[in-house]
Amino acid sequence: MPRRTRELRLLLLLALGLGARGTLPPPCDSQIYCHGELLHQVQMAKLFPDDKQFVDMPLSSAPDQVLQHFSKLASTHNHSIPRERLQEFLREHFQAAGQELQPWVPEDWKDSPRFLQKISDSRLRVWAEQLHQLWKKLGKKMRPEVLQQPERFSAIHSQHPFIVPGGRFLEFYYWDSYWVMEGLLLSEMPQTVKGMLQNFLDLVQTYGHVPNGARVYYLQRSQPPLLTLMVDRYVAHTNDTAFLRDSIGTLASELDFWAENRSVSVSLGGRSYVLNRYHVPYGGPRPESYSKDAELAASLPEGDREALWAELKAGAESGWDFSSRWLVGGPHPDLLSSIRTSRLVPVDLNAFLCQAEGLMSSFYARLGNDSQARKYRRLRDQRLAALRAVLWDEETGAWFDYDLENGKKNLQFYPSNLAPLWAGCFSDPRDVDKALRYLEDSQILTYQHGVPTSLRKTGQQWDFPNAWAPLQDLVIRGLAKSPSPRTQEVAFQLAQNWIRTNFDVYAQKSAMYEKYDISNGGQPGGGGEYEVQEGFGWTNGVVLMLLDRYGDRLSSGAPTAVLEVHCLAAALLLGLWLQ
């Protein structure tokens, strides 16, 4: 190994907090759901098509009893338990995944929310009504047993019911929930949103941050920090100043978590700038993807495995799990084993935090606390300067992730390069039109079915040819901030493209998906670690947002009678199913 590579790896291990033996703490204390021989034996036996299924299974008895029975079983078989005996053990000591949740129809759901009247195209209006109905399917609440016997569940108890993404994602997730809440507010369901917000605030009060999702194995990693924005959208909709006053201290605590645990100093041009990164210094394979992580690490020297697992968790914290964004600059930029998430300063993370700091300043001013309002205004101003100095590229007209190790920007295309526009964290109004030129120069506007997640085809799900709903929103609403009619028209056309892709797939399959393949006319997406999932919370939310914004102009683009009949049949079938 070259000396420079050895030095860099040693520095990384020290930065991650690895001890003398090269180990990091596990993601939680549970010897069933987070680390230990039971988890290893079950997951490496691949008893389920998806590793997440096992770690979502509740226990039938206390953890100590389950571990005691397992220890006897392992000793009997010299720690090499036959597959059939493992399956029998799980039947005896575990319940089916999802047993901790029960269906819940939101009490504030109602027919015919007002935004539907904005939609001129009759097919799109029928479709929007179907998506409004889906909130009832995606509603869940915790069974009382999760509160009474929390040690038997990987689920983290939540006091209030919530909306889940759908598919394998049985629990709620952090950044997904922002776009879900935008859709719920359009559906005139503010009480559901308030309950979900209270769940997040409770998590911050208990753990100091919002975990990736409501499972113990997610506890040590977060996701893009959008809680402050969620509260802003709810308060703008309801004018619930009392809720804001009760929540403001907890929102400040969450931003403190990012400042204290995810910040990094960048020296450039004789000045130092403080920005943020994704960074999860916890060891072992991710429990919900255990066998994949273990197999990926098997190709590396044993001393490098903990660093790989920490970088995979940081990639999961980004929400982009996984993408060429986190592989560039590594020795093999198309291989997941080259992941180096924590060594990059992401544009979108810093745009989200800049937006949150601005909102916090406005919140405190509204509540009459001028000193705190000034504090957060100063933090926002400092971040704006850092975004400009470190991430902005004037020649290209966009922001780019910064590689801490190599001291340069990653000039590859990602929709996140325009996140500061969406977040309102730019100082020159001309930046929006420069971003349009950047999209044209990158040939992004030639894609007729959605904005691609990247132009790299790595097989990872956050790369080409997949397109994701939240990234469409980043670009569309970012461009829509321009005073230029031409740039605003491009924003509309991108919205039209995305609506047509989602509508056409729904007409064919009567389902909404977490991601779409835009390379071949628009289809459900693929790649990554699991099959494409139906539901789907944030996809539904973004569609409703676009229909609300552009409903008087959007077209289903489906002139044939066949499609109309198919869509009507799907609507009738879905209505019967929901009943």
Residues marked as catalytic:
321, 514
State the DSSP H helix or E strand holding residue 408, giving kind and residue range, or none if neither. Answer: strand 408-409
Helix and strand totals (H; E) in the chain: 21, 13
Q: Rounded distance, CA 120 to CA 564, Å?
A: 16
Kindly tell me the sign of the dihedral angle through the C-alpha atoms of 131, 136, 140, 141. Answer: positive
Neighbours of 455 (CB within 10 A): 16
34, two tokens: 């987070």
Cβ atoms of 220 and 28 within 8 Å: the answer is yes
Neighbours of 539 (CB within 10 A): 30
Left (φ > 0), alpha (ψ -120 to 50) or beta: where does 117 sit? alpha
3 state SS of 398: strand
Burial of 121 (0-12, 13-18, 19+ CB in 10 A): buried
Q: Rounded distance, CA 397 to CA 419, Å?
A: 13
Of 349, 179, 186, 181, nearest in space to 263 by CA:
349
Cβ atoms of 154 and 217 within 8 Å: the answer is yes
Find the distance separating the first CA and the last CA of the chain, reported in whole Å: 63
521, two tokens: 């006319």
Cβ atoms of 525 and 467 within 8 Å: the answer is yes
Edge-first strand order for the sheet with 344-345 is 344-345, 402-403, 408-409
554, two tokens: 């959007």
Question: What is the DSSP code (8-state) at residue 410?
Answer: -
Helices (H), 173-289: 176-186, 190-207, 227-238, 241-261
Q: Rounded distance, CA 232 to CA 363, Å?
A: 8
Q: Phi, psi at residue 393, to the nearest 5°?
A: -125, 110
Q: b/e map of 213-224 (b: 16 or more CB within 10 Å)? A: bbbbbbbbbbbb
Beta-bridge partners for 274:
265
Beta-bridge partners for 467:
516
Of 100, 76, 70, nearest in space to 88 by CA:
70
- As a residue count, the chain comes to 579
Question: What is the DSSP code (8-state) at residue 166?
Answer: B
Residue type, 363: F
Beta-bridge partners for 59:
94
Residue type, 562: V
